[in-house]
Chains A and B, each alone.
Chain A
């Protein structure tokens, strides 16, 4: 199944993640497709090294996020 923003990438970000990121980095809206797409190469290393979000993502989610970038950020 193709990995898209609507399924499943968008669902990976919690309301807490979205709110906290806006406090730390106002330009990045983790609930917004364009904002995540434009900042994905910036976000990915933080996911991969476990420094974001609190608690970290499991390997499957991290791999999916990278695959989404490499696929050209499909929205749906």
Chain B
């Protein structure tokens, strides 16, 4: 009898274990029930391939899935660090007059030093492979700024964390982008200005932009145990605002854009990811949580939709008072496509469920993406009318577009001339419009060749 009971117990235990295994496998190997836009477990394999940029993607979910898969591909560990850190720096492509870019990922890098002399640094190797990586601050977007920098796109604002430290930014480009620019010769200002309006980057072209907090600098720790909750790297930053010398620093990733040209979308897909302790949602202020990077616990941000006391540059010359930021549009609402918010939430949930225990990427969320219907006008220019915007109409990252959350990427990344220096013409001059202006990296040409 006892043996029989034991047998029954064994069978029950076996069934329970089997059920648990099935449930666990269900969580690990596939989407949970009810997920409208799941992540694929294959994307998380250490050697998972890059998503196919040429594959037609007709639905809102399919484009979000491209964004998530590309993010996971770019943060794969390659030679000890995230893949995107090995991509070429735009400084290796847009050189001084008379210089030709070396084969990808480029050779000598052009970097600028903050200060009146703005000396260029040559022969330092490509910026993203310098050891350790050098981050440089930049001042306002003028002729002497860089993309390895501390001011934000659109606003020129310096984001200052709750420890009083600047947030730094860096950009990188993939081989498809780089080789296209070289092949077309548009690494010179004159050739770029002569490029036809309807020309676009090829399918597969990619830019990344990332934002970083200082976790530790020059012997002082600002984020205790940063490596437990942030992706961190060792780098160098300016010792102080004069930037006359560099000091070692541990940098913590707080935001990440992946921007890629997939089939049918010459405007590119603008996708953004961020650390979950950047800011609370504006509607949740006054949050008492003291852990946020860019928000003081208990701060009141005002009322919707203006959030009068947050997300503002109070004094552009003040580079020490911490910024007060909240997330005005958590998934970039309003929707440019029906079901957009639900798909982002679903993909995030699925992605987090699939991550192995202890993964650093569990601390990061997919925030939003924006793209268009893919239409081209009769002049070959991409169509950016409000009715053609898809994804999130307020796609923004609280660490990259902290002060411009009422816009999306395509408000600025249009076919219109860059308002950097005096190289590119008037924004409202149709004769100067060209699709390639969606990439603002061409702005470097106005710094190096004018």
Contact = CB atoms under 8 A, between A and B. Distances in A.
Given A23-B428, A27-B411, A38 B334 contact: yes
Interface of B: 305-306, 334, 383-387, 389, 393, 406-408, 410-411, 414, 416, 427-428, 430
Contact of B306 (A32, A35, A41): A41
13 contacts: A25-B411, A26-B414, A27-B389, A28-B386, A29-B386, A34-B387, A38-B393, A39-B386, A40-B305, A41-B305, A41-B406, A42-B406, A42-B407
Interface string A33-51: 0110011111010000000
Given A26-B384, A69-B305, A39 B389 contact: no
Contact of B427 (A24, A32, A35): A24
Q: Which of A25, A26, A28, A29 has the most CB of B within 10 A?
A: A26
Nearest to B428: A23
B305 A27 contact: no
A29 B305 contact: no
Q: Which of B334, B386, B411, B416 has the most CB of A within 10 A?
A: B386
Contacts of A25: 411
Contacts of B411: 25, 27
Given A26-B385, A38-B386, A69-B305, 5 more contacts: A27-B384, A27-B411, A34-B387, A35-B386, A35-B387
Given A38-B393, A41-B305, A29 B428 contact: no
Nearest to A69: B305
Contacts of B428: 20, 23-24
Interface residues of A, number: 18
A23 B406 contact: no
A69 B303 CA distance: 12
A76 to B, nearest CB: 19
Interface of A, secondary structure class, is helix
A29 to B, nearest CB: 6
Contacts, number: 41
Contacts of A42: 406-407
Contacts of B383: 26
A27 B406 contact: no
A21 B438 CA distance: 19
Contacts of B384: 26-27
B406 A39 contact: yes
Q: Which of A29, A34, A41 has the most CB of B within 10 A?
A: A41
Rank and list the top 3 A-B pairs by shortest CB-CB distance, nearest first.
A35-B386, A26-B384, A23-B428
Q: Which of A20, A27, A34 has the most CB of B within 10 A?
A: A27
A45 B378 CA distance: 34
A34 B383 CA distance: 17
B310 to A, nearest CB: 13
Contacts of A35: 386-387
Q: Which of B334, B408, B428 has the most CB of A within 10 A?
A: B428
A70 B249 CA distance: 45
Nearest to B389: A27
Nearest to B382: A26
A42 B154 CA distance: 13
B427 A34 contact: no
Contacts of B414: 26
A13 to B, nearest CB: 14
Given A38-B393, A41-B306, A32 B386 contact: yes
A35 B336 CA distance: 11
A39 to B, nearest CB: 7
A38 B408 CA distance: 11
A56 to B, nearest CB: 19
